[in-house]
Amino acid sequence: MITANDLKTKGIACLEEGLANQPEAMITVRGKESFVVMKIEHYHYLREMELEAALYETRQDLAAGRFSKDNIDQHVAEIFLE
């Protein structure tokens, strides 16, 4: 855990220290978990996993026939009717 006060007084060195042995660290403000910082490699990995999950869901929807060939306006109207 990194406190907001540590971050304020130590700056980037505090983040480097907090991330030395882990890919992400929590920042607390007045004792409450408020933010997460992470190494850029970990961020890119999580982002890639998000995109992989979206692609998987899309393929599942296509296989199950959950898609529309309507134009965008018709499709959006159908979504809001649900």
46 is written with which tokens? 């999580």
What distance in Å separates the CA atoms of residue 44 and residue 47, rounded to the nearest whole number? 5
75 is written with which tokens? 């499709």
- pLDDT tens per residue across all 82 residues of the chain: 999 999 999 999 999 999 999 999 999 999 999 999 999 999 999 999 999 999 999 999 999 998 878 889 988 888 898 8
pTM for this prediction: 0.72
